C-alpha cells in the first residue's frame, strides 16, 4: 500500500528514484498531466504501470498552469476546419469537450475530497468581428454540439472595462479549478490504482524496436510491452528526433497583491478570460487578486524578470487598475507543434506519444489520456483522428529564433489589428458626433429660415 496524503504527496519511500531493474506492462515517461492521466486510466484497466519522472511530479508546465478548462485546441477552429473538414473538426471538438468532462469527474472523484470548480469561461476578441460571431456560434452550437454563447460588445464591456475587447464567446461548460491540486489528485488516484511513480529518474535511452521495449535510466533498466512518451519538450536525449518536433515556448505568469474593490469594478467576470490571439489569459482569484499569464519566450529565463512586463500589460489592458503590485511570478515550458495540434497516437507497435498540448493542455491531455489508454487496452483507434497532424520537425535552435520572431510578429500584428479596430471604433464614434453636429447645424439653419420667413410675412401683412 502506497502512503499518500489527500493531495497526492507521497511518503519519502515512494518519492525514491528507481533503484532496481523492472519488468512491467506499461512504462510512461513523464509525470505531467498527460503521463499521469494515461497512468491512471491504464492502471484502472488492470495493467501493471510505472511512471518515470526525471525531476518531480508536475515539475514541467503541468505544475504551473492556471487551471482553466475550455473546449478546443491551440489551432483556431477556422484553421482546423480548413485542414480536416467539418466532420473531423466536429469529432475533434467533441473529444476536446469530453476531456473537460473527464477533469470534472476526477475533481469530484469520491475517493478524495472534492476539488472546487467554478463555471464559465470567456474567449474575447481583440478585433471587431461582430458579423462573424453569429456564424461561429451556429457552427459551435448546431454543428458541433458545443455549448457556446455569443456576447456582443456591450455585454463584454459591461464585465470587462477595457476598450481592448470587442465580442466574446462564452462557454458555460468551461470552468476553472486549482490546476496544481488537480495534477496532484491525478497522482494520488494513480497511486491508489497501483501505479508506481519514480521521481528523479530520467530516461536516458530507449530501444523500442523489439516486442519488449528497453528503457535505460542512470540507476536501473526496465523492460515494458508498451512505452508512452509523455515528456513534452523535456524528452531530450532519450528520443532526440521526437524532441525536435516540438518548439519549446516558455509562458510567464504572475499573481498580484490584493487589489480591493476597484478590481471588481473593472473585472466583473468571475471565470477565466483568454483573448483570441492567445496572448493574455487571466482571472480573479482569492477574492481580489488577479492571476495573469502573458509574455512568451522561446528561451528560459528567471520568472521574476517578467513581473515588469506583466504589470505593464495589465495596465495597458485595464488602465483603471493603475500600476498593480506583483506578489509572485512563475513560468513553464509548453510544447508547440508546427501544426498547433497535439501529438497523440501510436508511433510503432507498443510505442505511444502524448505531447505538444501547448497552451491548452488540461482538456487535451485528459482527452489524450483516455485515447491512449483505450488504444492500449482495447485497440480502440480513435486516436487516428490525430493522424493528419504528423510529427513535423520544429526547426531546432534556428526554429526557436524563428519562433520568437514569429511570436513577436504575430503579437505585433494582433496588437496592430486591435489598435486598428479600436481606431475604427473611435472613428465611428467621432463620425456619429460629426453627423449629430451637422444635423444640429441643419436644424438651426432651418429654424432661422423659418423665423425669417415668418418675420417677412409679418412685415408684408403690416404694409
Ligand atoms: C504558465 C502556464 C499556464 C498555463 N495555463 C493553462 C491553463 O490554464 N489551462 C490549460 O489547459 N493549459 C494551461 N497551460 C498549458 C499546460 O500546462 C500544458 O499544456 C500541459 O501541462 C502539458 O502537460 P504535459 O504532461 O504534456 O507536459 P509537462 O507538464 O511538461 O510534463 C512532462 C514531464 O515529463 C518529464 N520528462 C521529460 N523527459 C523525461 C525523460 N527523458 N525522463 C523522465 N521524465 C521526463 C518532465 O520532467 C516533466 O515533468 C499553461 C502552461 C503554462 C506554462
The answer on 205 and 281 residing in a single domain is yes
Instruction: Name the nearest CA neighbour of 208 among 246, 242, 247, 233.
Output: 242
Q: Is 199 in the pocket of ligand 1 (CB under 6 A)?
A: no
Q: What span, in angstroms and rounded, lies between the C-alpha atoms of 174 and 312?
A: 28
Ligand 1 pocket mutation, candidates 41, 65, 295, criterion most atoms within 8 A of CB:
65
- pLDDT of 412 reads 55
Average pLDDT rounded to a whole number, residues 46-73 = 97
The answer on 32 and 78 residing in a single domain is yes
Residue range 222-264, pLDDT digits in tens: 999 999 999 999 987 778 778 788 899 999 999 999 999 999 9
Which residues are CB-contacts of 427 (< 8 A; sequence separation ≥ 6)? none
Residue 255 lies in a domain: yes
On average, the pLDDT of the chain sits at: 89
Which residues are CB-contacts of 456 (< 8 A; sequence separation ≥ 6)? none
Ligand 1 pocket mutation, candidates 60, 97, 196, 296, criterion most atoms within 8 A of CB:
60
Asked whether 162 and 421 are in contact (CB, 8 A), the reply is no
Q: What span, in angstroms and rounded, lies between the C-alpha atoms of 17 and 314?
A: 42
The answer on 319 and 172 residing in a single domain is yes
The answer on 435 and 380 residing in a single domain is no
Measured in Å, residue 258 CA sits from the centre of ligand 1 at 28
Whether the per-residue pLDDT at 333 is higher than 90: the answer is yes
Global pTM value: 0.87
Range of the domain at 402: 396-463
Q: Is 152 helix (H, G, I), strand (E, B) or coil?
A: coil
**278 falls in which pLDDT band (50, 70, 90)?**
confident
Residue 15 lies in a domain: no
Q: What are phi and psi of 228, to 5 degrees?
A: -115, 125
The answer on 367 and 227 residing in a single domain is yes
Residue range 372-421, pLDDT digits in tens: 999 999 999 999 999 888 776 666 665 555 555 555 555 655 555 666 56
Residue 275 lies in a domain: yes
The answer on 382 and 453 residing in a single domain is no
Percent of the chain with pLDDT over 90: 68
Q: Which atom number of ligand 1 is nearest to the Cα of residue 235?
A: 38
The answer on 124 and 167 residing in a single domain is yes
Residue 327 lies in a domain: yes
CA nearest ligand 1 atom 4, residue: 65
Local structure of residue 54 (DSSP, 8 states): S
Residue 69 lies in a domain: yes
Measured in Å, residue 435 CA sits from the centre of ligand 1 at 55
Ligand 1 pocket mutation, candidates 30, 34, 102, criterion most atoms within 8 A of CB:
30
Whether the per-residue pLDDT at 2 is higher than 90: the answer is no
Average pLDDT rounded to a whole number, residues 268-288 = 94
Residue 326 lies in a domain: yes
* Greater pLDDT, 461 or 190: 190
Whether the per-residue pLDDT at 3 is higher than 50: the answer is no
* 84-88, 133-137, 150-154, 256-260: range with lowest mean pLDDT: 133-137
* 1-5, 20-24, 94-98, 287-291: range with lowest mean pLDDT: 1-5
The answer on 435 and 378 residing in a single domain is no
Instruction: Name the nearest CA neighbour of 203 among 182, 188, 213, 218.
Output: 218
Ligand 1 pocket mutation, candidates 32, 57, 181, 254, criterion most atoms within 8 A of CB:
32
Q: Which atom number of ligand 1 is nearest to the Cα of residue 203?
A: 42
Q: Is 27 in the pocket of ligand 1 (CB under 6 A)?
A: no
Whether the per-residue pLDDT at 160 is higher than 60: the answer is yes
* Greater pLDDT, 434 or 291: 291
The answer on 382 and 446 residing in a single domain is no
Q: Is 112 helix (H, G, I), strand (E, B) or coil?
A: coil
The answer on 303 and 253 residing in a single domain is yes
Residue range 186-232, pLDDT digits in tens: 999 999 999 999 999 999 999 999 999 999 999 999 999 999 999 99
Asked whether 306 and 331 are in contact (CB, 8 A), the reply is yes
Q: Is 293 in the pocket of ligand 1 (CB under 6 A)?
A: yes
Q: Which atom number of ligand 1 is nearest to the Cα of residue 30?
A: 34
Measured in Å, residue 216 CA sits from the centre of ligand 1 at 22
CA nearest ligand 1 atom 48, residue: 60
Q: Final residue of a domain: which of 394, 419, 445?
A: 394
Q: What span, in angstroms and rounded, lies between the C-alpha atoms of 63 and 202?
A: 18
Asked whether 224 and 236 are in contact (CB, 8 A), the reply is no
Give, for 265, the enclosing helix (H) or strand (E).
helix 261-266
Measured in Å, residue 359 CA sits from the centre of ligand 1 at 9
Local structure of residue 298 (DSSP, 8 states): S
Whether the per-residue pLDDT at 118 is higher than 80: the answer is yes
Residue range 59-69, pLDDT digits in tens: 999 999 999 99
**1 falls in which pLDDT band (50, 70, 90)?**
very low
Q: Final residue of a domain: which of 355, 376, 394?
A: 394
CA nearest ligand 1 atom 33, residue: 30
Number of domains in the chain: 2
Question: Cα dist. 259→127, 220, 233, 269, 317 in Å?
Answer: 28, 51, 36, 15, 16
Q: Which atom number of ligand 1 is nearest to the Cα of residue 252?
A: 1
- pLDDT of 422 reads 61
Whether the per-residue pLDDT at 99 is higher than 80: the answer is yes
Q: Is 283 in the pocket of ligand 1 (CB under 6 A)?
A: no
- pLDDT of 12 reads 45
Whether the per-residue pLDDT at 315 is higher than 50: the answer is yes
Q: Is 203 in the pocket of ligand 1 (CB under 6 A)?
A: yes
The answer on 426 and 295 residing in a single domain is no
Measured in Å, residue 393 CA sits from the centre of ligand 1 at 20
For the chain, what percentages of helix, strand and coil (3-state, to nearest 5) are there?
Answer: 45, 25, 35
Q: Final residue of a domain: which of 394, 411, 427?
A: 394
* Greater pLDDT, 154 or 242: 154
Which residues are CB-contacts of 129 (< 8 A; sequence separation ≥ 6)? 166, 167
Q: Is 121 in the pocket of ligand 1 (CB under 6 A)?
A: no
Q: Is 331 in the pocket of ligand 1 (CB under 6 A)?
A: yes
Measured in Å, residue 127 CA sits from the centre of ligand 1 at 30
Residue 442 lies in a domain: yes
Q: Is 66 in the pocket of ligand 1 (CB under 6 A)?
A: yes
Q: What span, in angstroms and rounded, lies between the C-alpha atoms of 384 and 47?
A: 23
Cell of 374: 483505450
Residue 459 lies in a domain: yes
The answer on 441 and 370 residing in a single domain is no
Asked whether 228 and 29 are in contact (CB, 8 A), the reply is yes
CA nearest ligand 1 atom 32, residue: 231
Instruction: Name the nearest CA neighbour of 351 among 216, 247, 210.
Output: 210
How many CA atoms within 13 Å lie on the side-chain side of 396?
3
Whether the per-residue pLDDT at 280 is higher than 50: the answer is yes
Cell of 71: 473546449
Measured in Å, residue 309 CA sits from the centre of ligand 1 at 23
CA 317 from chain centre, in angstroms, equals: 20
Q: Is 362 in the pocket of ligand 1 (CB under 6 A)?
A: yes
Residue 158: which CATH number?
3.50.50.60
- pLDDT of 443 reads 85
CA 4 from chain centre, in angstroms, equals: 29
Measured in Å, residue 30 CA sits from the centre of ligand 1 at 9
Q: What span, in angstroms and rounded, lies between the C-alpha atoms of 384 and 407?
A: 30
Average pLDDT rounded to a whole number, residues 112-128 = 94
Q: Is 355 in the pocket of ligand 1 (CB under 6 A)?
A: yes
Amino acid at each position: 500500500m502506497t502512503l499518500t496524503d489527500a493531495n497526492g504527496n507521497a511518503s519519502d519511500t515512494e518519492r525514491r528514484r528507481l533503484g532496481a531493474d523492472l519488468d512491467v506492462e506499461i512504462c510512461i515517461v513523464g509525470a505531467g498531466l498527460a503521463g499521469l492521466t494515461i497512468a491512471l486510466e491504464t492502471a484502472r484497466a488492470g495493467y501493471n504501470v510505472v511512471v518515470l519522472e526525471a525531476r518531480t511530479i508536475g515539475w514541467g508546465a503541468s505544475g504551473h498552469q492556471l487551471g482553466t478548462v475550455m473546449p478546443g485546441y491551440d489551432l483556431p477552429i477556422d484553421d482546423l476546419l480548413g485542414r480536416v473538414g467539418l466532420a473531423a473538426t466536429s469529432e475533434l471538438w467533441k473529444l476536446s469537450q469530453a476531456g473537460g468532462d473527464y477533469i470534472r469527474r476526477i475533481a469530484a472523484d469520491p475517493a478524495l475530497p472534492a476539488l472546487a470548480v467554478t463555471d464559465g469561461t470567456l474567449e474575447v476578441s481583440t478585433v471587431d468581428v461582430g458579423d462573424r460571431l453569429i456564424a461561429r456560434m451556429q457552427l459551435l452550437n448546431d454543428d458541433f454540439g458545443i455549448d457556446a454563447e455569443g456576447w456582443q460588445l456591450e455585454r463584454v464591456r459591461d464585465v470587462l472595462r477595457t476598450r481592448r475587447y470587442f465580442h466574446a464567446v462564452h462557454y458555460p461548460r468551461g470552468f476553472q479549478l486549482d490546476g496544481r491540486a488537480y495534477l496532484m489528485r491525478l497522482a494520488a488516484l494513480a497511486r491508489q490504482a497501483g501505479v508506481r511513480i519514480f521521481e528523479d529518474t530520467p530516461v536516458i535511452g530507449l530501444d523500442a524496436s523489439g516486442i519488449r521495449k528497453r528503457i535505460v535510466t542512470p540507476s536501473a533498466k526496465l523492460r515494458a510491452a508498451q512505452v508512452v512518451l509523455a515528456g513534452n519538450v523535456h524528452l531530450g536525449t532519450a528520443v532526440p528526433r521526437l524532441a525536435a518536433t516540438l518548439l519549446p515556448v516558455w509562458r510567464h505568469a504572475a499573481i498580484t497583491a490584493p487589489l480591493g474593490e476597484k478590481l471588481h469594478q473593472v473585472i466583473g467576470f468571475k471565470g477565466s478570460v483568454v483573448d483570441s490571439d492567445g496572448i493574455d489569459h487571466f482571472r480573479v482569484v482569492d477574492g481580489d487578486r488577479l492571476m495573469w499569464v502573458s509574455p512568451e519566450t522561446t528561451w528560459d529565463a528567471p520568472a521574476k524578470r517578467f513581473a515588469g512586463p506583466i504589470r505593464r500589460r495589465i495596465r495597458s489592458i485595464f488602465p483603471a487598475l493603475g500600476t498593480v503590485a506583483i506578489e509572485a511570478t512563475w513560468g513553464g515550458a509548453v510544447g508547440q507543434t508546427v501544426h498547433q495540434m497535439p501529438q497523440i497516437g501510436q508511433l510503432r507497435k507498443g510505442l505511444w506519444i502524448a505531447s505538444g498540448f501547448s497552451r491548452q493542455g488540461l482538456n487535451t491531455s485528459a482527452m489524450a489520456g483516455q485515447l491512449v489508454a483505450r488504444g492500449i487496452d482495447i485497440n480502440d483507434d480513435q486516436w487516428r483522428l490525430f493522424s493528419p497532424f504528423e510529427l513535423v520537425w520544429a526547426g531546432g535552435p534556428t526554429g526557436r529564433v524563428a519562433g520568437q520572431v514569429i511570436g513577436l510578429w504575430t503579437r505585433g500584428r494582433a496588437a496592430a489589428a486591435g489598435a486598428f479596430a479600436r481606431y475604427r471604433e473611435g472613428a465611428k464614434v467621432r463620425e456619429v458626433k460629426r453627423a449629430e453636429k451637422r444635423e444640429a447645424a441643419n436644424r438651426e439653419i432651418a429654424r432661422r429660415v423659418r423665423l425669417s420667413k415668418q418675420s417677412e410675412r409679418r412685415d408684408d401683412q403690416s404694409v
